[in-house]
């Protein structure tokens, strides 16, 4: 056998050997592709360990910067619509509270085993099983906006509040958002009735209502969201933004709108303050940033996954998360990533 034929035979033997050895090996599994239970994101919050939590139209999802976890597969966690999320703020307590169409639920986050406690009209003093908004104050009291008014739970006792006497806006209009200021005032926003402001210890006191024309700085009584910044309040409405810097009902208001100031859209669903002190507003037509009296807006043309932004959360690294009706956008170092 000449040298050429010998070389060909050796090469053929090596190739066939590699082929059959590869055929016998078990193929490496493909990486799992995470699928969200729903594209509709109602709320995003970041816990004190940096884990992101997403309230969706079909359950809860978390992300710890490495792994996505879908809690809607757990039989104890609702697979229905989750409207809002809040965390206990007391030292040593790590409970996540969920407002759902089936009532109020809580479970301890940061653990592998999920033990859920459910609160509904049959098991607790909550006014309605349809929960639309959640808030929590510095004493760890929960404020639960329902379809029949505001339920208040301090851990042992249930109370209810309908709003200022003879107005009762919290039972007449949808409660869209609840926020607690550092001076003890609670602000419960409604879609149509304005805002109910009050204090709570063992009972409600100091109740008043912010609405037009009394609270002249509110551009509308349809309030989509409220956040507090110390004593000050920011209100997102269907006709622009209201900033109120004090407790005085009839003074210290500033209003921002699309035509007068540069807001991308006057229907504002979400408000957040980033780690640099900039304000961010999620609207029906994109996101607007307010920094040093300058407005900058972002839409799908800039990388946002969808223009209708329902919620905004600030991460521990200063980046921002935006929840929409078509998924999630993450903005870090001016780079957009969509999920």
The count of C-alpha atoms lying within 13 angstroms of the C-alpha of 25, restricted to the half-sphere facing its C-beta, is 9
The count of C-alpha atoms lying within 13 angstroms of the C-alpha of 160, restricted to the half-sphere facing its C-beta, is 15
pLDDT digits (tens, 9 = 90+) for 47-79: 988 999 999 999 999 999 999 998 866 657 777
What's the rounded Cα separation, in Å, for the pair 144 and 131? 7
Residue 223, pLDDT > 60, answer yes
Q: What is the pLDDT of residue 230?
A: 96
Residue 314, pLDDT > 80, answer yes
Strand partners, 108: 95
Q: What is the pLDDT of residue 133?
A: 98
Mean pLDDT of all residues in 268-272: 98
> pLDDT category, 36, cuts 50, 70, 90?
confident
Quickly tell me which residue has 């972002």 as its tokens.
298
Extract long-range pairs of 122-128: CB within 8 Å, 24+ residues apart: 124/153, 124/158, 125/151, 125/153, 125/158, 125/159, 125/160, 126/151, 126/153, 126/158, 127/151, 127/160
SS3 150: strand
Closest CA to 207 of 196, 193, 221: 196
């Amino acid at each position: 056998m000449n040298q050429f034929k010998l070389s060909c035979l050796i090469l053929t033997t090596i190739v066939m050997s590699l082929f059959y050895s590869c055929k016998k090996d078990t193929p490496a599994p493909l990486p799992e592709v995470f699928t969200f239970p729903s594209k509709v994101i109602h709320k995003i919050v970041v816990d004190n360990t940096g884990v992101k939590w997403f309230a969706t139209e079909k359950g809860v999802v978390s992300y710890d910067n490495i792994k996505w976890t879908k809690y809607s597969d757990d039989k104890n966690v609702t697979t229905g619509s989750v409207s809002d999320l809040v965390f206990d703020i007391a030292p040593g307590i790590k409970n996540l509270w969920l407002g759902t169409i089936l009532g109020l639920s809580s479970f301890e986050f940061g653990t592998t085993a999920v033990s859920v406690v459910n609160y509904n009209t049959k098991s607790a003093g909550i006014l309605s099983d349809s929960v639309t908004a959640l808030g929590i104050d510095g004493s760890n009291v929960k404020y639960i906006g329902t379809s029949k008014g505001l339920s208040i739970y301090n851990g042992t006792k249930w109370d209810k509040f309908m709003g200022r006497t003879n107005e009762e806006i919290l039972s007449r209009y949808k409660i869209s958002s609840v926020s607690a200021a550092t001076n003890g005032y609670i602000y419960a926003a409604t879609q149509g009735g304005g805002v109910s402001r009050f204090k709570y210890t063992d009972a409600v006191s100091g109740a008043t209502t912010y609405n037009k024309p009394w609270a002249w700085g509110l551009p509308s009584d349809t309030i989509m969201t409220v956040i507090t910044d110390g004593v000050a309040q920011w209100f997102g409405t269907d006709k622009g933004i209201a900033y109120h810097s004090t407790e005085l009902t009839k003074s210290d208001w500033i209003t921002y709108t699309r035509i007068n100031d540069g807001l991308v859209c006057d229907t504002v669903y979400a408000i957040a303050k980033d780690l640099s002190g900039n304000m961010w507003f999620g609207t029906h037509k994109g996101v607007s940033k307010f920094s040093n009296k300058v407005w900058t807006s972002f839409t799908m043309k800039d990388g946002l996954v969808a223009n209708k932004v329902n919620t905004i959360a600030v991460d521990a690294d200063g980046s921002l998360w935006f929840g929409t009706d078509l998924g999630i956008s993450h903005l870090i170092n001016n780079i957009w990533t969509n999920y």
